[in-house]
Chains A and B, each alone.
Chain A
Amino acid sequence: MVTLTPSVRPLPATRRRSRRMRQLATAAPFVLPGLILVLVFVVWPLIRGIQMSLYDWNLPAPSRSEFIGLDNFVRAFTQDPTFWVAVRNTFLYAIVTVPIQIVLGLGAAVLLNGRIRGRTIYRALFYLPVVTSWLIVSYVFAFLFSDGDGPVNYFFVNIVHILPEPVPWLHETWPAQVPIMVLGIWKGVGWNMVIFLAALQSIPHELNEAAVLDGANAWQRFTRVTLPLLKPTFQFVSVVLIVGAFNVFISVYLLTGGGPEKSTEVLLSYMYNQAFTNLDFGYGVTVGLILGATVMVFGFLQRRITRGAVD
């Protein structure tokens, strides 16, 4: 982020101020619409959220809310096992889906890089799930993974005979992780593919040719030449995917509703249910804030670690 500062003579203070005023007058109509929207609808809710988290918030009548200090946070961290179930499921989702998406996306990109017939079609088909809305694909997966005679059970039990009997995919804690995660991976592979494909194509092929002349085989060229050059892409993709994974919500909400017995809740679905089923808005806000803080801390750590590598 280097800005070119034009070389100017130091100006007297008054002229500097009048220049700044001119700058402001020019820039204001460009900056302000966006800045005001961000302040009102992004920043103000966060401040309001911090305030709400300190109350037993009464949504129908906010003025009747009761101030309870840090009780909501204490409750989350020390008194509420379900909160930790939601934390576990959220992290598990990130740990499983992010690497698999990256590997599959990169794999597809490598296969599609270079001359191949029907490349446009393959690329389009892999990308199709990315553009389809979460609501729609969640319903489709709820149907595919229905208990008993659902298509997935039918395939694994009656056709390939891998499973001895139908699995209640949506109604038991650990089986239910499967459709949720498979959906996340299925929907994300195409995006990874496209990003990696763009990165692969930007690698100067002279490098590969030089490696060929040095006697490197295809695998060596991939691991020694290509992968190191993809490092910035890996970093970019993993940040986006991890933030996305922490955002997992609608698929869980529509596939399992957090059940059975709240065992598949993730942080956002737990936040929502606290607010709209239990009418405990202050606590729901608190859960959301804790998630937001986690994402921020993670983002800063990631940036700190990778700063040297990018430039």
Chain B
Amino acid sequence: MRRRAIIPTIAGLAALTLLAGCSGDGGEQPQAGDDVCASETPVTITFWHTYSTDSAENTQLNDVLLPEFEKECPGVTVDAVVMPYDGLHDQLIAAVSGGGLPDVMRMDIIWTPEFADLGVLTPLDDLDGFSDIANTVLPGPLSTNEFEGQHYGLPLDTNTQVLVYNSELLPEPPTTFEELTADAEALKSQGVYGLALGGAGPWNVFPWFWSAGGTVTDDSYTKATGYLDSAASQAALQWLVDFNDAGLLGPSSIGGSPDSWGGFSGGDYASLSDGPWIFPSLSGDMGDKITGAPLPAGPGGSISVVGGENLVTFATSDKQAAAWEFSKFMLSDFAQGAMAEVGQLPVTQAGLESDAVTSVPYLAAYVQQLQNAQARTPVPAWPQIDQILTDAFTAALRGSKPVDQALSDAASQIDPLLAGD
């Protein structure tokens, strides 16, 4: 049943490649990689990703990217596996301890530090061709792969959230918080919520919290007290709480129904903050009504959150060379462009300026917003911090805790996590 047979020659080859990579200066050593691709016995690598089974991304991957890769690199075949996003973190932890990790994985950028800290990711800095790639990708996404001075992955795609609005309900997108509030108040009389979030976790709340002037930690991610509970942060969260209390924020923001996509496509919510994937999924139902614009600016500016995925190789894999060939391919202009066609934003400047991106109208707002987008706290303890912040934001939005208390409680819980253990 298991297809992960160890092919001794390939394992040896992988070791050689690694050695070559370590001793070399990171310059051009194409022959090692070519050997894998020219290998007589085909090597199969397992690639985990979370493009949903029925998504355009998954179709593009299987119908366009993988055939092209296998043409360029016939010695390697890729077994691409859809993983359930729900509970994926737990499954990965189980796999880390129980075996069964894939060779390569497309992993949420916020998990890379945690798994690097667990020691299960391959550091890439010394691999041949890494420095070329590092020089062409955007520094922001690249930095999410860094842990203790090494890079444990390559950025694969980036994304952020913009204001996704229903042009039938909102002919002109609001550009400031004041306009947003005014629009939402006008819509309220029609029984429509001006804005809805997909939940109360950091991913959903940060764009508004930051734009409203909030901060989470100091710049070197060592302390939350004094930042998360500062007067500016309190005022920022208070703004969102007030917006909610005024009945302007859709119930999906605190887990109510309809959920954000359902409410938006059903006309209950006039706008969302969401990523580019919403466009291919909902344009079938909504046609031209679904439109994007940069987030309205608040006291802190118009600041969104950086999302995206990294491509990591697991240290447990015995097919490091093949994994690296595949990783390099996924960063190629061809692969980046092909995924851009289905809404995955490229991580290279060239890619962002390519036709694949510029010809997709809804991506313009995202490219623009990326100039003003921040990453979530890149530390190994992020999953716990995420939970603490979700609890704090939820409590404040539900009114079960005053804003100042919710934030100071969260800050005091986060401090020890940032200090490490």
Contacts and interface: CB of A to CB of B under 8 A. Distances in A.
* Chains A and B in contact, CB within 8 Å: yes
Interface of A: 59-61, 146-150, 166, 168, 170-172, 259-262, 275-279
B282 interface: no
B383 interface: yes
Contact of A171 (B93, B94, B255, B258): B255
A123 B258 CA distance: 36
Interface in B251-270: 251, 254-258
Contacts of B254: 147, 168, 171
B120 interface: yes
Contacts of B118: 60, 279
Interface string B379-391: 0000110010011
Contacts of B28: none
Interface string B176-200: 0000000000000000000000000
A259 B395 CA distance: 11
A187 to B, nearest CB: 22
Contacts of A279: 93, 118
B4 interface: no
Interface in B344-397: 383-384, 387, 390-391, 394-395
B139 interface: no
Contacts of B251: 147-148
A254 to B, nearest CB: 10
Nearest to B417: A278
Contacts of A278: 384
B257 A60 contact: no
B255 A170 contact: yes
A278 B387 CA distance: 10
Interface in B84-108: 89-90, 93-94, 96-97
Interface residues of B, number: 24
Contacts of A166: 256
B58 to A, nearest CB: 23
A263 B254 CA distance: 16
Contacts, number: 61
27 contacts: A60-B118, A60-B119, A61-B119, A147-B251, A147-B255, A149-B257, A166-B256, A168-B254, A168-B256, A168-B398, A170-B255, A171-B254, A171-B394, A172-B398, A259-B390, A259-B391, A260-B395, A260-B400, A261-B391, A261-B394, A262-B391, A276-B90, A276-B93, A277-B89, A277-B90, A278-B384, A279-B93
Tell me whether chain A's interface is mostly helix, strand or loop, or mixed.
loop
B45 to A, nearest CB: 22
Given A148-B256, A261-B395, A59 B97 contact: yes
Nearest to B406: A261
A260 B90 contact: no
Contacts of A170: 255
Given A147-B254, A277-B384, 14 more contacts: A148-B256, A166-B256, A168-B398, A171-B255, A171-B394, A172-B398, A172-B400, A260-B395, A260-B398, A275-B93, A276-B89, A276-B93, A277-B387, A278-B384
B8 to A, nearest CB: 26
A110 to B, nearest CB: 39
A258 B39 CA distance: 50
A148 B384 CA distance: 28
Nearest to B380: A279
Nearest to A153: B257
Nearest to A280: B384
Q: Which 3 A-B pairs have the closest CB atoms?
A: A147-B256, A148-B256, A276-B90
Contacts of B97: 59-60
A146 B256 contact: yes
A61 B118 CA distance: 9
A255 to B, nearest CB: 11
A185 to B, nearest CB: 24
A168 B394 CA distance: 12
Nearest to B383: A277
A261 B146 CA distance: 31
Contact of B96 (A59, A148, A277): A59
Interface string B235-255: 000000000000000010011
Given A260-B394, A261-B394, A278-B384, A148 B258 contact: yes
A150 B118 CA distance: 41
A295 to B, nearest CB: 25
Contacts of B120: 60
Contacts of B398: 168, 171-172, 260
A171 B251 CA distance: 12
A60 B118 CA distance: 7
B182 to A, nearest CB: 25
A147 B199 CA distance: 13
Contact of A148 (B90, B257, B387, B391): B257
Contacts of A276: 89-90, 93-94
Contacts of A147: 251, 254-257
